Amino acid sequence: MIAQPPAPVPPPMQEDSFLELLAETLAGVEEHARSLFLQRFFRNIAQLDLSESQSLASWNQILQQQQQLSDSLGRPVSLKTAMMDVLVANTQLRLPVLVEYDDYRKLQINAATDGLTGLYNRRLFNEYCDNEVNRARRYNQQLAVVILDLHRLKEVNDRNGHLKGDEALRLAASTLRKTLRASDLAFRIGGDEFALLLPETDSEQAAKLCKRVRALYESQVVTLELDMTEVTLDFGIAVLPNDGEEKEALLGLADERLYQLKFAGRVNTSRVIPIETPQARETAPPVPLAVKPAAPRPVPVALPPAPVAAPTSAVPRTVPQPAPSYSERRKWERVSLVGTRASATLSEPQKTAMVLDLSYGGVALLVDDTEELPPQFYATLHVPILPPVRVCLKQMYATKAEGGRLRVGCAFIS
């Protein structure tokens, strides 16, 4: 009698191979990370709401059951079979059906990504941001959080149609993918807003990256042939730990700096609000300044790039002149800074004055009536949330104020 060859063992199914690979990978992961992953794994693949410890215990039981079944049957038993056996025996699986891996991956991708751009969505951003902030604090590392938005997207939609607007958004996502490192994460968190998480990145490195993203986007957006200009990406940066160690504080500051750049940058898009160290600011030339008031949209405020030399000798102050009256709307909106502790350090005389309001073209100061100011003088403006800026001012008018003081209106000169 001729011996019959043993029946061939059927090749493993795709989902079986995936589960075996998963088990092999998890074996080399530390326990906390493994339990956290398994908790999400059971929730997504079998609709089970287990704690981290329960998830880890169930997984270990599945591995033991696979080994016992294989030993008793004398042939390999798939991890999927062992999983079904354990979950059903523990009455944890209400419906004894596991999602096919391809379907599971589609559900997972759809739940985590933005359908238009393919970037991660806001839900995943909140999750990853919490994790990265905690990791950066634990290991004493820097983390840059960046908020970007697509400037003038609404106008693109209104003038060119929403299809062109969608193309502009997809181009922004493509630009981010081309520019970011493998460790960086990009998200679309709103209609025209994007966010970046840049691990182990300081403010200077983050600013350089954002400028590259912006330059690349501006060079490519012209291919869309939009019926407008200045379609670009504005950005704001906050870095842990220098700017805060809580997610809310970092996001709030990044958003503030985004609006500073958004409106100050319209004067000169090549110049951005500095976020360097105070020592670097002392030697840096003045830059455009922006203030975000309580109104729905911040009002732009820009300062000249380089002041001319101011006279060194003071001259007697003339009789106070009334503030100019306007029969038409002011050319530049005035932002009140009363109550914000905004101040100006005057070079001559060396005094500190209160800043009453600020606009694109100038500033109003509150000084003592006995002080004499020269027609032109230097001053360093200290405005909340902005770096100190040194400017050259020219007196335009002076009017009496309460308490025997003067309101002095000054224009920025260059």
What range does the domain containing 304 cover? 285-414
Counted domains in the chain = 3
Residues 347 and 414 grouped into a single domain:
yes
Segment 133-140 long-range contacts (CB within 8 Å, at least 24 positions apart): 133/240, 133/245, 133/246, 133/247, 133/250, 135/199, 136/199, 136/240, 136/241, 137/240, 137/241, 137/245
What is the C-alpha separation between 407 and 394, in angstroms, rounded? 14
The residue among 255, 275, 295 that closes a domain is 275
> Is residue 2, in this structure, part of any structural domain at all?
no
Q: What is the structure's pLDDT at 102?
A: 60
Of 111, 129, 145, the last residue of a domain is 111
pLDDT at res. 275: 39
- Model pLDDT, residue 82: 85
Q: Which residue has the tokens 């902030």?
A: 133
| Together in a domain, 120 and 267 | yes
In a domain, 4, yes or no: no
Q: Would you give per-residue pLDDT tens digits along the chain (414 residues)?
A: 444 444 444 444 445 667 777 788 888 888 888 888 888 888 877 777 888 888 888 889 889 888 888 888 888 888 888 888 787 777 665 544 455 556 656 656 667 888 899 999 998 899 899 999 999 999 999 999 999 999 889 899 998 999 999 999 999 999 999 999 888 999 999 889 999 999 999 999 999 999 999 999 999 999 998 888 789 999 999 999 999 999 999 999 999 898 887 766 454 433 333 433 334 434 444 444 333 333 444 444 444 444 444 444 444 444 455 544 444 444 556 788 887 788 888 877 778 888 988 887 889 998 886 567 888 888 888 887 677 888 889 888 888 887 778 888 888 886
Burial per residue of 15-47, b for 16 or more beta-carbon CB atoms within 10 angstroms, e otherwise = bbebbbeeeeebeeeeeeebbebbbebbeebbe
Q: Are residues 43 and 176 in the same domain?
A: no
- Domain-located, residue 8: no
CATH of the domain at 299: 2.40.10.220
Q: Which of 47, 77, 111 is the last residue of a domain?
A: 111
Residue 132 shares a structural domain with residue 232 = yes
Q: Are residues 85 and 105 in the same domain?
A: yes
Q: 141 with 265, same domain?
A: yes
Q: pTM value?
A: 0.44
Query: φ, ψ for residue 150 (rounded to 5)?
Result: -85, 105
- CB-based contacts of 233, cutoff 8 Å, min separation 6: 148, 149, 150, 151, 172, 175, 194, 210, 213, 214, 217
Q: Same structural domain for residues 99 and 219?
A: no
Strand partners, 198: 144
Whether residue 57 sits in one domain with residue 28? yes
Whether 81 and 121 map to the same domain: the answer is no
Q: Does residue 54 sit in the same domain as residue 128? A: no
Q: Do 364 and 332 share a domain, yes or no?
A: yes
Q: Which residue has the tokens 């005057």?
A: 346
